[in-house]
A and B are shown apart, each in its own frame.
Chain A
Amino acid sequence: MIDPHTADSNSGGVFDTPTAGAFTPGALLSIRGVSKHFGGSVALKDVDLDIMPGEIHGLLGANGSGKSTIIKILAGFHEPDAGDFWIHGQQVNTPFGAGGLRHKGVGFVHQDLGQVPNASVLEHMVLDAQTENRGLTRINWRLERDRVQGLLDRYELDISLDAPIDALYPVQRALVAIVRAISSQEEYVQAGNAGATLLILDEPTVFLPKHEVDQLFVMMRRLKDQGSSVLFVSHDIDEVLTITDRVSVLRDGKNAGSRVTNDSTREQIVEMILGGRFEHISRTFTATDESAQLVLSTSGLKGHRAVDVSFDVRKGEVVGLTGLAGSGFEEITDLIYGSRKLEGGSILVYGADVRKPAPDSMMNRGVVLIPADRKGQGGALSLTVLENMALPSLSTQSKGWRIKWRQLRQRMASVCRELRVVPDNVDALFGNLSGGNQQKALMGKWLDQEPQLMLLNEPTQGVDIGARMDIFRLIRSAVDEKGMGVVCATSDYEQLVEIADRVLILSQGRIRGEIVGQEITKDALAAAIYAEEAA
């Protein structure tokens, strides 16, 4: 069913890109020409977006397309470099200040929901109401209890006011977060401000089990029926096709177009997300030697999201793992390395059973991990490059009473030179290196240990093109020359095309597909990932 508002303004299938420079009459929120740079990289370039009253509007885009940047601008986390904003037909000047557009009736539910596990539902709801009251104003608990209960009843939510957040189902937590945002919006409306409100949901379904998502959709339809608008940010095309009236797509920080959902096919939307860039990166494949020794063999891995993951890695093989966020692919490397608690399953390294995987014992078996969170887990930012690179050799083999700093310095300096780490100075602070150079240094420190198996988690996140190529070259040469096995978990399809011999696609904690050799292309990966999700 097409919402009347949307149908009026768009008789054609493809919604025209909003007229540049002026706001669209009748739009609840109009954004024109928003740009944002972070350092040298462009996050948003000249983006326009219109949200009409009473519509559910989907916002889609691949990783790094600028979806979250635009939300963060509206929420006041980032200040745009350029751009004009109209809400309820009135222009709003930037910067919006700390609260973003909240004071204009825009509510936000972020992916992490912003909740405290052991505080109750009621306490969360009262927190917002109290931010207006200063200091030691007495909280009238009975009144608040009635107000919040009324709110929950109105949306037919059967949630106890006194339940702590961690006792709720994931979808109930999301619903509480939504009601919390709505409750602040109601205050805005009660304060005499006319007009519909806008609720922005930033990837609320990522951490929800499939069967709970419907409850969220019921809530969204209810809001729409009240005349409110919802901006639904997601990377799940099927969810967007199910629930939205219109959909806008961002690609590389630019508008890739807006469409009326009912007149769109999933193929058209996939094409908008990925663009026409289906070019292949030339690469020679050497068929994996089936007789090669098994470096790693896992069966039934179970973790936070992974349910049952079994796969093998042979000597000289690069196995890619991918899927949607929340599908479990992102935790597999940590489960194997023991940096995240393994709930079940078994891991064999060179045929030997690893009972309780832990980083130190894994290192002794020749397994190393390059974590995704480089700044938090990769290296200590306030220590030098040399100290960071020397750590693995000091933690496993604490030989003798004296660290031979001179030898270490020479060795690490030559590793850095080989990997083209800049600045060419091992005494520089690790934190002063760019992302790409930090990653090269970490890669170098581990390759220096000549590992048997390298676990990579988003290895080129935030890494520039040049460094990225250096990193692939390094991995490839260690694989081809030394027979190192690699597991590479990433949501970057291009990366898998470039380095993987075999890609496993995860969905809801299980392996649901495999693409081998020449078959690994960006569109094949995208098709497999989204197809699995639809099934």
Chain B
Amino acid sequence: MTNNKANTTEAGLQKPKRKGLDLERFALIGVWIVLIIFFGILLPDTFLTSANISNMLGSQAVLLILALGLLIPMRAGVYDLSVASTMNFSAVIVAIGNVQWGLSIWVAVLVAVFAASLVGVVNGFIVVKFGIDPFIVTLGIGTVVVGLTYWISNARTTVGVDRSLSDFVLAKPFLAIPVDVYYALALCFVVWYIFQYTAFGQRLLFVGQNPEVARLNGVPVGRTRWTSLIASAFVAGIAGAVFVGTTGSADPTAGQAFLLPAFAAVFLGSTVLSIGRFNAWGTVIAVYFLATGITGLQLLGLQQFVQQLFYGGALVIAVVLSKIVRSRSERQAGAG
């Protein structure tokens, strides 16, 4: 018993050392602000104009929605590589449904989101029932979905989609910011709430951190993973509809370009706010941090290639950072 008492007093002195981590939590935000000031000084006439800011925010709404959907399976440790092709699939169905099949635009959107969700159902079925690594399953199914997309669209861009979708997505910017940005932020709030305050969110987290612990605590691990894949496909379906709204058309090849930026945003987002965890507001910050960098550099006259350099580099740096943070916290755990 004396032993135990000694332990207690010793631990009383041992205050949790979180000071260092607290600053790190906001490091990316700090770099973002520096970046804005930097471009603001270099490009006083173009960068900090309301037109540019509005454009920067609006152009990222689709990517942000897609990344928020991807966040859900990632939280459960499930890589979903099919999100971008699912989004494109949905976009093409909206356009074809409306233009060729003569569906009302809202019915077309419903059909598209439903079809997209089916992709998640199939992904989850294969992952859970056969116990196969989601990485490879979603890579394969994602490619199948690209094939389907080309098939139904004859690999051609569909134009002439009902204006009311564009009106809904783009019309009447509020405070000079396009409306779709607000939709994306609303979704972010929903995802944040699910992660933070619902039992489902907590289960996702445990399945991602340690599936064995989750299972022994009664969490249906397979079902949770499956649900997360359906959720990401559903959100990708919505992203597809918004995508059509912003362009008024559907290009069957446009979606693939979103995959890497979405992953870059999700990983970079896990280095902000709550470090080492995929989180919603961190993803928002990451998306706009990346957009700021790319827009600024392009305004400075750099070419299109900047985009790839920036997204690819950010993904790798984010993964390295989160690895460093994790191994450091493991070291602390080992010492404690």
Chain A residues at the B interface, C-beta cutoff of 8 Å: 337, 339, 359-360, 362-364, 369, 371, 376-383, 387-388, 390-392, 394-396, 398-399, 401-403, 405, 420, 422-425, 427-429, 431-434, 464-467, 469-470
* In contact, A359 and B212 (Cβ under 8 angstroms): no
- Closest Cβ of chain A: how far from B329's Cβ, in Å? 7
Q: Is B41 an interface residue (CB 8 A)?
A: no
Q: In the complex, A369→B216 CA distance in Å?
A: 8
Contact with A along B9-27 (1 / 0, CB 8 A): 0111010100000000000
B18 to A, closest residue via Cβ: A427
- How far, in Å, is B88 (CB) from chain A's closest CB? 33
Q: Output the nearest chain A residue to B276 by Cβ-Cβ distance.
A: A382
Q: How far is the CB of A505 from chain B (nearest CB, A)?
A: 27
SS class, residues of chain B in contact with chain A: helix
A424 to B215, CA, bound (A): 27
CB distance from A441 to the nearest CB of B (A): 13
Smallest CB separation, B67 vs chain A (Å): 22
Give the CA-CA distance A425 to B18 in the complex, in Å.
13
Contact between A469 and B1, CB atoms less than 8 A apart: yes
Given the complex, which residues of B lie within 8 Å of A464, measured CB to CB? Answer: 3, 7
B202 within 8 A of A: yes
Q: How far is the CA of A363 from the CA of B203 in the complex (A)?
A: 16
- Find residues 199-243 in chain B having any chain A CB closer than 8 Å to their own CB: 199-200, 202-203, 205-206, 209-210, 212-220
Chain A residues lying within 8 Å of B333, measured Cβ to Cβ, are 381, 429, 431-432
Across-interface contacts of A388 in B (CB, < 8 A) = 213
B174 interfacial contact with A, CB 8 Å: no
Contact A420 B4 (CB under 8 A): yes
In the complex where A359-B218, A423-B11 touch, is A383 in contact with B205 (Cβ < 8 A)?
yes
CA distance A423 to B200 in the complex (A): 28
Asked if B172 CB lies within 8 Å of chain A CBs, one says no
Collect the chain A residues with CB atoms within 8 Å of residue B202's CB.
Answer: 387, 390-391, 394, 403
Whether B216 contacts A377 by the Cβ 8 Å rule is: yes
Known contacts A382-B329, A424-B11, A432-B336; decide if A395 and B203 are in contact (CB<8 Å): yes
Give the residues from 319 to 336 in chain B that come closer than 8 angstroms, CB to CB, to chain A: 326, 329-330, 332-333, 336
| A to B CB contacts below 8 Å, 11 in the list | A369-B216, A371-B216, A376-B210, A377-B212, A379-B213, A390-B202, A394-B202, A423-B11, A429-B329, A466-B5, A470-B4
Q: Are B276 and A433 neighbours in the complex by a CB distance under 8 Å?
A: no
Whose C-beta in chain A lies nearest to the C-beta of B220?
A360
A337–B1 CA distance with the chains assembled, in angstroms: 33
Asked if residues A403 and B199 are in contact (CB atoms below 8 Å), the reply is: yes
Q: Which of A382, A467, A469 contacts B326 (CB 8 A)?
A: A382
Taking A376-B210, A391-B206 as known contacts, 18 extra A-B pairs with beta carbons closer than 8 A to each other, sorted by chain A number, are A339-B215, A359-B215, A359-B217, A363-B218, A371-B216, A377-B212, A378-B213, A380-B213, A382-B326, A383-B205, A387-B206, A423-B11, A433-B336, A465-B3, A466-B1, A466-B3, A466-B4, A469-B1
Tell me the complex Cα distance, A124–B264, Å: 41
With contact pairs A360-B218, A376-B212 given, residues A398 and B7 touching in the complex (Cβ less than 8 Å):
no
Q: Judging by beta carbons under 8 Å apart, are B219 and A391 in contact?
A: yes
A369 and B212 alpha carbons, distance in the complex (Å): 13
State the Cβ distance, A427 to closest chain B Cβ, in Å: 7
B198 an interface residue at 8 Å Cβ cutoff? yes
**B residues near A382, Cβ cutoff 8 Å:** 209, 276, 326, 329
Contact of A423 among B16, B198, B209 (CB under 8 A): B16
Which A residues are CB-close (under 8 A) to B216?
337, 339, 359, 369, 371, 377
Query: Given the complex, which residues of A lie within 8 Å of B219, measured CB to CB?
Result: 360, 391, 395
A360-B219, A420-B4, A431-B329 known; A425-B16 Cβ under 8 A:
yes
User: Do A395 and B3 touch (CB < 8 A)?
Assistant: no
Measured between alpha carbons, how far is A377 from B14 in the docked complex, in Å?
Answer: 27
Beta-carbon nearest neighbor of B200 in chain A: A398
Tell me the nearest residue of chain B to A370, going by C-beta.
B216
A434, B220: Cβ atoms under 8 Å? no
- Which residues does chain B contribute within 8 Å of A391, judged by CB atoms? 202, 206, 213-214, 217, 219
Within the assembled complex, what's the spacing in Å between the Cα atoms of A369 and B47?
59
With A380-B210, A466-B4 already in contact, the answer to whether A428 and B220 are too (CB < 8 A) is no
Knowing A422-B7, A464-B3, A466-B7, say if A394 contacts B203 (CB, 8 Å).
Answer: yes
> Which residues on the A side are within 8 Å of B3 (C-beta)?
464-466
Instruction: Give chain A nearest CB distance to B322 CB in angstroms.
Output: 11
Whether A432 touches B332, Cβ cut-off 8 Å, given contacts A401-B198, A470-B4, is yes
Q: Which A residues touch B164, using CB under 8 A?
A: none
Q: In whole angstroms, how far apart are the Cα atoms of A377 and B212 in the complex? A: 5
* B197 in the interface (beta carbon within 8 A): yes
Nearest residue, chain B, Cβ from A431: B333
Q: Chain A's nearest CB lies how many Å from the CB of B292?
A: 30
A246 CB to closest chain B CB (Å) equals 38
Which chain B residue has the least Cβ–Cβ distance from A394?
B199
What chain A residues lie within 8 Å of B276 (beta carbons)? 382
CB neighbours (8 Å) of A467 from chain B are 4, 7
On whether A423 and B220 interact (CB within 8 A), knowing A403-B197, A466-B7, the answer reads no
Contact status A420-B336, CB under 8 Å: no
- If A423-B11, A423-B14 touch, does A403 touch B329 (CB 8 Å cutoff)? no
| Residues of B contacting A399 in the complex (Cβ-Cβ under 8 angstroms) | 199
Interface centre among A380, A388, A392 (most CB of B within 10 A): A380
Docked complex Cα distance between A470 and B4 (Å): 9
A148 CB → nearest B CB, Å: 34
| Shortest Cβ distance from residue A436 to the other chain B in the assembled complex, whole angstroms | 8
Q: Which among A395, A401, A425 is the interface contact of B218 at CB below 8 angstroms?
A: A395
Bound-state Cα–Cα, A445 to B59, Å: 47
Are A420 and B212 in touch, CB under 8 angstroms? no
Q: Does B8 make an interface contact (CB < 8 A)?
A: yes
Please, which residues of chain B bring their CB within 8 A of the CB of A377?
210, 212-213, 216
Assembled-state Cα–Cα distance A459/B10 (Å): 24
| A401: B residues at CB distance < 8 A | 197-198
Decide: A398 near B199, CB < 8 A? Known: A391-B217, A423-B16, A466-B3.
yes
A403, A424, A466: the one within 8 Å of B12 (CB): A424
A387 x B213 contact (CB < 8 A): no
Once the chains bind, are A427 and B16 in contact (CB under 8 Å)? yes
A residues in contact with B329, CB < 8 Å = 382, 429, 431
Q: How far is the CA of A337 from the CA of B216 in the complex (A)?
A: 8
Q: Decide: A431 and B330 in contact? CB cutoff 8 A.
A: yes
Q: Which residues of A contact B5 (CB under 8 A)?
A: 466
Contact A380 B218, beta carbon cutoff 8 Å = no
- Which A residues are CB-close (under 8 A) to B199? 394-395, 398-399, 403
Contacts of B8 in A (CB 8 A): 420, 422
A360→B224 CA distance, assembly (Å): 13
Report B-chain residues with C-beta under 8 Å of the C-beta of A380.
206, 209-210, 213
Q: Within the assembled complex, what's the spacing in Å between the Cα atoms of A431 and B276? A: 14
Chain A residues positioned under 8 Å from B218 (CB to CB): 359-360, 362-364, 392, 395-396
Nearest 3 CB-CB pairs, A to B?
Answer: A466-B4, A422-B11, A398-B199
Most buried by B among A383, A387, A390, A469: A383
